[in-house]
Amino acid sequence: MAASERSDPTRPRRWLWRWGVGLAALTLLAIGLLWHLNYNDGVDITAAEPAPADAATLARGTYLARVGNCLACHTARGGVPAAGGRPLATPFGTVYTSNLTPDADTGIGRWSAGAFWRALHHGRSVDGRLLYPVFPYTHTTLLTRADSDALFAYFRGLPATRAQVLPHELRWPYSTQAALAVWRALYFRPGGFQADPAHSEAVNRGAYLVQAVAHCSACHAPRDRLGGADWRDLSGGMVPGLGWYAPSLTNAAEAGVGPWPEAQIVRLLRTGAAQQGVASGPMAEVVFHGTQYLTEADAAAMAAYLKGLPQQPAARPDAPPNAAPSRLATAGAKLYEQHCAACHGAQGEGVPGAYPPLAGNRAVTLAQTENLLQTVLHGGFGPATAGRPRPYGMPPFTLTLSDTEIAAVLSHIRSAWGHHASEVSPLQVLQMRQASSGNLR
């Protein structure tokens, strides 16, 4: 800068003023943009109600609510169905689900079909508030207006239940509408489902069910630190707040079903178990409350769509092949004989229809060991479904085996039978014990 400029006493003030105006203009522009992105949806929620739903519409709404798993979240444990109040843990605090029964004060009794549509499509509540994306409007925005109206008819037909839902317990700044507006600007665009003319009607129906109704990527998309994701991505991610990994649906080494016969995918969705694997953890819940009610045709459509997803190349194994078993894995082999072989077989072959094989089981060799640890520590049953009404159970080992013993047995099954997955350390077992001791809703 020239000396003469510096000596002019009015110059710095003018400079400041200019910057100030510029900054103010930018702020206004940003606020305007945020307003436009969040509030400029133009939905008239006072519009005249559609004619009362006919029986077919009501049946469709009931079906969509079921397979879309609305009630699993909108019902507290042991509570009135759809009356809300279930706490959902997120990395930003706890969110309580809302009452969807037609109670006037605490439910959706005063809502119009337009208001319901605005919630599903734009993620805004009846009072104009931005909704927290724990409610997957990132996915329901793809629903058709007709399906939204059918769902509304279903919820309006439920018995009205007065149930004041607890206020959310979110940390600042995540608790603010401003933070939500920014989040939505980054990760949410109201959309509509676009059928791909290159694909069959069935595949497009499957895409609609996977993307909009069943909102699979709410769990199966990798989320970033703000909980955002590309919602078309199904390449696997940690389920927020639960300590389970939702494996990739686009990788045959995880849960990609490209090589599976379609009938097996249908079986997994409708009964909770296929020849190649079983649904466990949060997916068992999804099957129990939701996908077991899929019609055969819809399950087949989802299967066809999932089979056709572009597949990622298989990653290289994370331990060198033919490495001699470690001391930990050798100790695990003995424990396996004692505690596991009676059901899963000496060679990890399992029992068809009862116990899954462990040899060649992708859930055993996943790089993410969370699901294995949860399963061995806490055990559990597969979902009891119409197609598989009396599943077999896995005992919990949290009280009988130490951290080192669990690490040993898992290291064994991850390196036996031609597997080359990494070892599991006692520290990982301890961490999972601590993380999963209180995460039941």
Partner 1 sequence: MGLPLGRWLAGVVALVWATAAQAAAPFEDSMAQRTLACTACHGDQGRAGPDGYYPRLAGKPAGYLYHQLLNFRDGRRHYGPMTRMVDVLSDAYLMDIARHFAALQVPYPPPQPLATPPAPAALARGRTLALQGDAGQRLPACVQCHGERLTGALPDVPGLLGLPPDYLTAQLGGWRTGQRRAHAPDCMASIVQRLSDRDAYAVVSWLASQPVPADSRPAPEKPALPAEFAGLKCGSAPPPEPHR
List residues near partner 1 by CB under 8 A. 76-79, 272, 284-285, 287-288, 338, 342-343, 351, 354, 378-385, 389-396, 398-400, 437-438, 440
79 versus 240: smaller Cβ distance to partner 1:
79
In the complex, minimum distance from the CB of residue 90 to partner 1, in angstroms, rounded to a whole number: 20
The length of the chain is: 441
In the complex, minimum distance from the CB of residue 66 to partner 1, in angstroms, rounded to a whole number: 15
DSSP 153: H
In the complex, minimum distance from the CB of residue 342 to partner 1, in angstroms, rounded to a whole number: 6
185 versus 359: smaller Cβ distance to partner 1:
359
In the complex, minimum distance from the CB of residue 378 to partner 1, in angstroms, rounded to a whole number: 5
In the complex, minimum distance from the CB of residue 171 to partner 1, in angstroms, rounded to a whole number: 25
Do residues 439 and 370 touch, judged by C-beta distance below 8 A? Answer: no
How many other β-carbons are positioned within 10 Å of the β-carbon of residue 372?
Answer: 26
142 versus 340: smaller Cβ distance to partner 1:
340
Do residues 205 and 247 touch, judged by C-beta distance below 8 A? Answer: no
In the complex, minimum distance from the CB of residue 334 to partner 1, in angstroms, rounded to a whole number: 13
In the complex, minimum distance from the CB of residue 207 to partner 1, in angstroms, rounded to a whole number: 27
Instruction: Report the side by side order of strands in the sheet with 93-96.
Output: 87-90, 93-96, 169-170
Do residues 244 and 281 touch, judged by C-beta distance below 8 A? Answer: yes
Q: How many whole angstroms separate alpha carbon 288 and alpha carbon 282?
A: 10
In the complex, minimum distance from the CB of residue 87 to partner 1, in angstroms, rounded to a whole number: 11
284 Cα distance to chain centroid:
12
What are the two backbone dihedrals, phi and then psi, of residue 164, each rounded to the nearest 5 degrees? -75, 120
In the complex, minimum distance from the CB of residue 69 to partner 1, in angstroms, rounded to a whole number: 13
| Token code pair at residue 99 | 């009452």
| Token code pair at residue 124 | 């805004």
105 versus 337: smaller Cβ distance to partner 1:
337
| Token code pair at residue 11 | 């110059």
90 versus 398: smaller Cβ distance to partner 1:
398
Give me the residue label for tokens 């598989």.
Answer: 388
What are the two backbone dihedrals, phi and then psi, of residue 89, each rounded to the nearest 5 degrees? -80, 135
66 versus 118: smaller Cβ distance to partner 1:
66
In the complex, minimum distance from the CB of residue 336 to partner 1, in angstroms, rounded to a whole number: 13
- Transcribe 194-239 into DSSP letters: ---TTS-HHHHHHHHIIIIIS-THHHHSPP-TTS---TT--S-EEP
Handedness of CA 93, 249, 372, 419 (dihedral sign): negative
What are the two backbone dihedrals, phi and then psi, of residue 324, each rounded to the nearest 5 degrees? -65, 145
Burial of 127 (0-12, 13-18, 19+ CB in 10 A): exposed
Q: How many whole angstroms separate alpha carbon 190 and alpha carbon 303?
A: 26
188 versus 288: smaller Cβ distance to partner 1:
288
153 versus 372: smaller Cβ distance to partner 1:
372
250 versus 375: smaller Cβ distance to partner 1:
375
126 versus 343: smaller Cβ distance to partner 1:
343
Do residues 251 and 272 touch, judged by C-beta distance below 8 A? Answer: no
Element (H, E) at 95: strand 93-96
187 versus 381: smaller Cβ distance to partner 1:
381
In the complex, minimum distance from the CB of residue 158 to partner 1, in angstroms, rounded to a whole number: 18
Do residues 396 and 379 touch, judged by C-beta distance below 8 A? Answer: yes
Among 116, 97, 124, which Cα is nearest to 180's? 124
What are the two backbone dihedrals, phi and then psi, of residue 30, each rounded to the nearest 5 degrees? -65, -45
